[in-house]
């Protein structure tokens, strides 16, 4: 892989990481701590939404982010022809 392609590959990879980590931060810290009072007015399965995000929601979001990252990286690897064949 040429130096230019390598730089583009890692630049795009870091963009994916920053976006996905921002989503995780907003779901765990934002929804679980900062916006808990506002979210507690909504109930899911009898539990307040702020409590749910603090206890379980951020974990589910993190697991979904892992699968999204894997899909994005597979696509990126194919784009730069570094995928496993």
Supply the pLDDT for residue 68: 98
Write down the pTM of the prediction. Answer: 0.82
Give the residue-averaged pLDDT of 39-66.
88
- pLDDT of residue 13 exceeding 90, the answer is yes
- Mean pLDDT, the chain, rounded, equals 90
Share of the chain above pLDDT 90, in %: 47
Point out which residues pair with 47 in neighbouring strands. Answer: 44
Tokens in use for 51? 């409590």
Q: Are 60 and 32 in contact (CB under 8 A)?
A: no
Question: For residues 17 and 36, which has the higher predicted lDDT (pLDDT)?
Answer: 17
């Amino acid at each position: 892989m040429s130096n230019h392609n390598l730089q583009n590959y890692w630049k795009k990879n870091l963009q994916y990481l920053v976006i996905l980590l921002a989503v995780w931060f907003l779901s765990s810290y934002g929804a679980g701590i900062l916006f808990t009072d506002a979210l507690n007015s909504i109930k899911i399965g009898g539990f307040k939404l702020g409590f749910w995000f603090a206890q379980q929601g951020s974990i589910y979001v993190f697991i979904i982010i892992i699968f999204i990252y894997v899909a994005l990286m597979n696509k990126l690897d194919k784009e730069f022809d570094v995928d496993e064949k």
